[in-house]
Amino acid sequence: MKLGIAVVYMVSERNERLLDLHLSQIEKNTTSPYLIYAAVNRLLPQFREKLEANPRVKICPCETYVPGSGLLRHERERAAVKGTVHQDCKYEHSWYLEQLIRMAVDDGVTHVALFHVDSFPVRVGWDQELISQLSGPCVLAGVVRDAKKDCKPLTAGMLFSREFYLTHRPRLLPTEEEMGSSEYARYRQACPHCGDSGAGYGFRMFMEDLAWHPLVRSNLGGRHALFGTVHGDMIFHLTTAAVIDQQNMVGWTVRPSQRRGLVGAMARVGKVLLPGMLRREVRSRASKHLTKRFQADDRQQWERERALLLEDPERYLADLRTGVQPERPSASCCGAVEIPRPARQPERTVVD
């Protein structure tokens, strides 16, 4: 048994403690012999030195991503008007991750796991438990963000065998030709999903009539529908840390119907009472205003979850997993969180 863990490290200076927590949790909870295959093309020098000093990390020489080179035709047209920053993130991350997976397999690992810098295991023996799920048609275990609307494995927590990779040669992102095919239309209908990293693996399994073991949200505690999630009581994911570091904005938000308050209540009632065409018209008219408002609210909530995690990781993670409320956090953590602003903002593309 030899486990290769592939991680693309993009970490801002203020998230050094998050990087340390990520590394320590992997070491604490992984029981198989493992090596982290790290892409550091976009990593700050001081953090690269930290990884180089860790005997469980292998710095991998990866070919540098060319901005915009991964965009599909319709995305290039949109980027010409609104910029590439938001859309390009998934392509850059997948570009490096694909190289890491190949390097790990070439090194002879028996299994490959994927994490983000803001995701890590929280239960001892997670690796052996997930490996035990891989039998017969089940070839992969992975976290899933939303089993109804985004039913695909996420690269924030995924594990599969070298045999699956070598036999089926999956890609993290589907190609333009695949996305335009009738087979992909059938896949999208059977498994509704967002087309970010991991969708290609889901499509390959669908085409080969294979199965995977989804790790759904298992939080018994927590304050937000998206940020600070535990999957299968095994994998924690803060969510969107790298996107915020690059764009200073939250890239993914929960649906209005999942939110609390008046907006959430109205959205839930509208889903039941409004006819489909009228519901789409209301959504279209309200989306720009609501998206701007939700982005600001979600950023504030994300900062809160990050602060709670880094203030006392053990207490925070125990609360998420068990629902046992921790002691009341300090005012500096639960009050208004100051959001750091970069000197120069990148172009932003808001996804409705």
**DSSP letters spanning 185-244:** HHHHHHS---SSTTHHHHHHHHHTT-EEEEE-B--SS-S-SSSSEEETTTEEE---HHHH
| 256 pLDDT higher than 60 | no
pTM (2 d.p.): 0.80
Question: What's the whole-number mean pLDDT along residues 31-44?
Answer: 97
Lowest mean pLDDT among 41-45, 89-93, 192-196, 275-279: 275-279
Question: What's the whole-number mean pLDDT along residues 21-27?
Answer: 98
Question: For position 338, what pLDDT does the model report?
Answer: 46
Question: For position 22, what pLDDT does the model report?
Answer: 98
CA distances, 97 to each of 17, 26, 128 (Å): 23, 18, 23
Give pairs for 55-63: CB < 8 Å, separation 24+.
56/26, 56/27, 57/23, 60/99, 60/100, 60/103, 62/96, 62/99, 62/100, 63/99
Question: What's the whole-number mean pLDDT along residues 240-257?
Answer: 57
| DSSP per residue, 253-297 | ---GGGS-HHHHHHHHHHHHHS-HHHHHHHHHHHHHHHHHHHHHH
Distance between CA atoms of 239 and 229, rounded to whole angstroms?
A: 8
Distance between CA atoms of 5 and 193, rounded to whole angstroms?
A: 25
DSSP state, 260?
A: -
Distance between CA atoms of 238 and 215, rounded to whole angstroms?
A: 15
Nearest alpha carbon to residue 294 among 260, 320, 271, 265: 260
Domain boundaries, the chain: 3-237, 252-334
Report the percentage of the chain scoring pLDDT > 70: 70
Question: What's the whole-number mean pLDDT along residues 89-93?
Answer: 86
Indicate the pLDDT class of residue 3, thresholds 50, 70 and 90: very high
Indicate the pLDDT class of residue 336, thresholds 50, 70 and 90: very low
| 249 pLDDT higher than 90 | no
Nearest alpha carbon to residue 194 among 86, 111, 58: 86
Question: For position 157, what pLDDT does the model report?
Answer: 98
| 342 pLDDT higher than 70 | no
> Which amino acid type is present at position 175?
T
Indicate the pLDDT class of residue 246, thresholds 50, 70 and 90: low
| 74 pLDDT higher than 90 | no
Could you tell me the fold of the domain covering 3-237? Spore Coat Polysaccharide Biosynthesis Protein SpsA; Chain A (3.90.550)
Question: For position 298, what pLDDT does the model report?
Answer: 76
3-state SS class at 161: strand
| 346 pLDDT higher than 70 | no
Residue 150, C-beta contacts closer than 8 angstroms, at least 6 positions apart: 144, 192, 193, 194
Structure tokens at 77: 């047209």
Mean pLDDT of the residues in the chain: 82
Distance between CA atoms of 111 and 32, rounded to whole angstroms?
A: 10
Indicate the pLDDT class of residue 130, thresholds 50, 70 and 90: very high
Lowest mean pLDDT among 14-28, 191-205, 220-234, 315-329: 315-329
Cβ atoms within 10 Å of 336's Cβ, excluding its own: 10
Question: For position 287, what pLDDT does the model report?
Answer: 57
| 206 pLDDT higher than 50 | yes
Torsion of CA 241, 245, 247, 252, to 10 degrees: 0
